[in-house]
Amino acid sequence: MNPEQIESQRKKANQRRIEYLQRKIQRDKTKFNSTLSHGISKVKQHARKDTWSTAHSNCFRASFSTDNKAESDKHRNRKYTLWCYYRKLGYTVFTELILENGKRPDLIIVGNNGSVFIIEIVESESDESIEKKKEYYPFPIQIERV
Protein backbone atom coordinates (compact mmCIF):
# COMPACT_ATOMS: atom_id res chain seq x y z
CA MET A 1 0.00 0.00 0.00
CA ASN A 2 1.23 3.43 -0.80
CA PRO A 3 1.02 6.36 1.64
CA GLU A 4 -2.05 7.83 -0.10
CA GLN A 5 -3.97 4.58 0.32
CA ILE A 6 -2.95 4.36 3.97
CA GLU A 7 -4.11 7.93 4.56
CA SER A 8 -7.41 7.22 2.78
CA GLN A 9 -7.98 4.09 4.94
CA ARG A 10 -7.16 6.07 8.09
CA LYS A 11 -9.66 8.81 7.15
CA LYS A 12 -12.39 6.23 6.46
CA ALA A 13 -11.73 4.52 9.80
CA ASN A 14 -11.91 7.86 11.61
CA GLN A 15 -15.15 8.74 9.83
CA ARG A 16 -16.68 5.38 10.82
CA ARG A 17 -15.59 5.98 14.44
CA ILE A 18 -17.15 9.46 14.42
CA GLU A 19 -20.41 8.10 12.97
CA TYR A 20 -20.47 5.32 15.57
CA LEU A 21 -19.99 7.80 18.42
CA GLN A 22 -22.69 10.10 17.04
CA ARG A 23 -25.15 7.18 16.89
CA LYS A 24 -24.18 6.14 20.43
CA ILE A 25 -24.69 9.68 21.74
CA GLN A 26 -28.10 9.83 20.04
CA ARG A 27 -29.09 6.45 21.55
CA ASP A 28 -27.94 7.54 25.01
CA LYS A 29 -29.85 10.82 24.65
CA THR A 30 -33.00 8.98 23.62
CA LYS A 31 -32.57 6.57 26.51
CA PHE A 32 -32.12 9.42 29.00
CA ASN A 33 -35.18 11.23 27.67
CA SER A 34 -37.14 8.12 28.61
CA THR A 35 -36.16 8.17 32.29
CA LEU A 36 -37.68 9.38 35.51
CA SER A 37 -34.75 11.79 36.01
CA HIS A 38 -35.53 13.49 32.71
CA GLY A 39 -39.23 13.77 33.59
CA ILE A 40 -38.41 15.34 36.95
CA SER A 41 -35.99 17.75 35.28
CA LYS A 42 -38.81 18.82 32.91
CA VAL A 43 -41.02 19.54 35.92
CA LYS A 44 -38.18 21.44 37.59
CA GLN A 45 -37.81 23.67 34.51
CA HIS A 46 -41.39 24.87 34.97
CA ALA A 47 -41.47 25.03 38.77
CA ARG A 48 -40.98 28.28 40.62
CA LYS A 49 -37.30 28.28 41.59
CA ASP A 50 -37.79 29.58 45.12
CA THR A 51 -40.17 26.74 45.97
CA TRP A 52 -38.58 23.82 44.11
CA SER A 53 -37.35 20.82 46.04
CA THR A 54 -37.34 17.18 45.02
CA ALA A 55 -38.26 16.53 48.65
CA HIS A 56 -41.77 17.68 47.64
CA SER A 57 -42.17 14.70 45.36
CA ASN A 58 -44.53 12.04 46.67
CA CYS A 59 -45.71 14.22 49.57
CA PHE A 60 -49.43 14.78 49.78
CA ARG A 61 -50.55 18.37 50.21
CA ALA A 62 -54.08 19.69 50.66
CA SER A 63 -55.91 22.69 52.10
CA PHE A 64 -57.76 22.26 55.36
CA SER A 65 -59.45 25.42 56.55
CA THR A 66 -62.74 26.70 57.88
CA ASP A 67 -62.95 29.56 55.38
CA ASN A 68 -64.39 29.21 51.88
CA LYS A 69 -60.98 29.28 50.21
CA ALA A 70 -60.11 25.72 51.24
CA GLU A 71 -60.69 22.67 49.09
CA SER A 72 -63.94 20.83 49.57
CA ASP A 73 -63.89 17.39 51.17
CA LYS A 74 -64.86 15.81 47.83
CA HIS A 75 -62.03 17.60 46.04
CA ARG A 76 -59.44 16.74 48.67
CA ASN A 77 -60.56 13.10 48.89
CA ARG A 78 -60.44 12.67 45.10
CA LYS A 79 -56.98 14.22 45.02
CA TYR A 80 -55.79 11.86 47.75
CA THR A 81 -57.31 8.83 45.99
CA LEU A 82 -55.56 9.72 42.73
CA TRP A 83 -52.31 10.47 44.58
CA CYS A 84 -52.44 6.99 46.18
CA TYR A 85 -53.31 5.34 42.86
CA TYR A 86 -50.37 6.83 40.96
CA ARG A 87 -47.96 6.24 43.86
CA LYS A 88 -48.95 2.54 43.90
CA LEU A 89 -48.18 2.37 40.18
CA GLY A 90 -44.68 3.70 40.92
CA TYR A 91 -45.13 7.21 39.51
CA THR A 92 -43.58 10.29 41.11
CA VAL A 93 -46.31 12.71 42.14
CA PHE A 94 -46.15 16.40 43.02
CA THR A 95 -49.18 17.98 44.70
CA GLU A 96 -49.85 21.71 44.58
CA LEU A 97 -46.40 22.45 43.10
CA ILE A 98 -46.15 26.16 42.32
CA LEU A 99 -45.21 26.76 38.68
CA GLU A 100 -43.24 29.72 37.32
CA ASN A 101 -46.46 31.32 36.12
CA GLY A 102 -47.86 31.15 39.69
CA LYS A 103 -50.37 28.40 38.90
CA ARG A 104 -50.68 25.35 41.15
CA PRO A 105 -52.07 22.21 39.51
CA ASP A 106 -53.59 19.64 41.84
CA LEU A 107 -51.27 16.82 40.74
CA ILE A 108 -48.26 16.60 38.47
CA ILE A 109 -47.55 13.00 37.54
CA VAL A 110 -44.11 11.88 36.32
CA GLY A 111 -43.74 8.42 34.82
CA ASN A 112 -40.63 6.25 34.89
CA ASN A 113 -40.47 6.70 31.12
CA GLY A 114 -40.07 10.50 31.40
CA SER A 115 -43.71 11.31 30.61
CA VAL A 116 -45.30 14.18 32.53
CA PHE A 117 -48.95 15.16 32.78
CA ILE A 118 -51.17 17.19 35.07
CA ILE A 119 -54.38 16.14 36.76
CA GLU A 120 -56.74 18.95 37.62
CA ILE A 121 -59.69 18.07 39.83
CA VAL A 122 -62.77 20.16 39.16
CA GLU A 123 -66.03 20.31 41.01
CA SER A 124 -68.07 23.24 39.77
CA GLU A 125 -65.81 24.98 37.27
CA SER A 126 -67.11 26.10 33.92
CA ASP A 127 -65.83 24.65 30.67
CA GLU A 128 -64.35 28.06 29.88
CA SER A 129 -62.33 28.01 33.10
CA ILE A 130 -61.08 24.51 32.33
CA GLU A 131 -60.00 25.55 28.81
CA LYS A 132 -57.98 28.43 30.29
CA LYS A 133 -56.16 25.96 32.52
CA LYS A 134 -55.13 24.00 29.46
CA GLU A 135 -53.53 27.16 28.06
CA TYR A 136 -51.34 28.01 31.02
CA TYR A 137 -50.15 24.56 32.08
CA PRO A 138 -46.89 23.41 30.45
CA PHE A 139 -47.87 19.72 30.29
CA PRO A 140 -50.88 17.80 28.99
CA ILE A 141 -53.82 18.10 31.36
CA GLN A 142 -56.32 15.48 32.43
CA ILE A 143 -59.56 16.69 34.00
CA GLU A 144 -61.10 14.71 36.85
CA ARG A 145 -64.61 15.71 37.86
CA VAL A 146 -65.94 15.06 41.35
| pLDDT score for 13 | 94
Q: What is the pLDDT of residues 68-80, one digit of tens each?
A: 667 888 999 999 9
| pLDDT score for 102 | 92
Tell me which residue range forms the domain holding 5: 1-33
Residues 10 and 61 in one domain: no
Chain mean position to CA 141: 11
| pLDDT score for 132 | 86
Residues 55 and 106 in one domain: yes
Residues 42 and 5 in one domain: no
Residues 67 and 104 in one domain: yes
Dist CA 106 CA 135 (whole Å): 16
Residues 74 and 103 in one domain: yes
Report the b/e string of 63-88 with b at 16+ CB within 10 A.
eeeeeeeebeeebbebbeebbeebee
Residues 27 and 52 in one domain: no
Instruction: Look at residues 82, 63, 85 and name the one whose alpha carbon lies nearest to residue 73.
Output: 63
CATH number at residue 55: 3.40.1350.10
Residues 62 and 25 in one domain: no
Residues 53 and 90 in one domain: yes
| pLDDT score for 65 | 67
Dist CA 96 CA 75 (whole Å): 13
Dist CA 35 CA 53 (whole Å): 19
SS (H, E, C) the chain: CCHHHHHHHHHHHHHHHHHHHHHHHHHHHHHHHCCHHHHHHHHHHHECCCCCCHHHCCCCCCCCCCCCCCCCHHHHHHHHHHHHHHHHCCCEEEECCCECCCCCCCEEEECCCCCEEEEEEECCCCHHHHHHHHHHCCCCEEEEEC
| pLDDT score for 143 | 93
| pLDDT score for 126 | 84
pTM of the model: 0.76
Dist CA 120 CA 99 (whole Å): 14
Low-confidence ranges of the chain (pLDDT < 70): 65-69
- What is the domain count for the chain? 2
| pLDDT score for 85 | 97
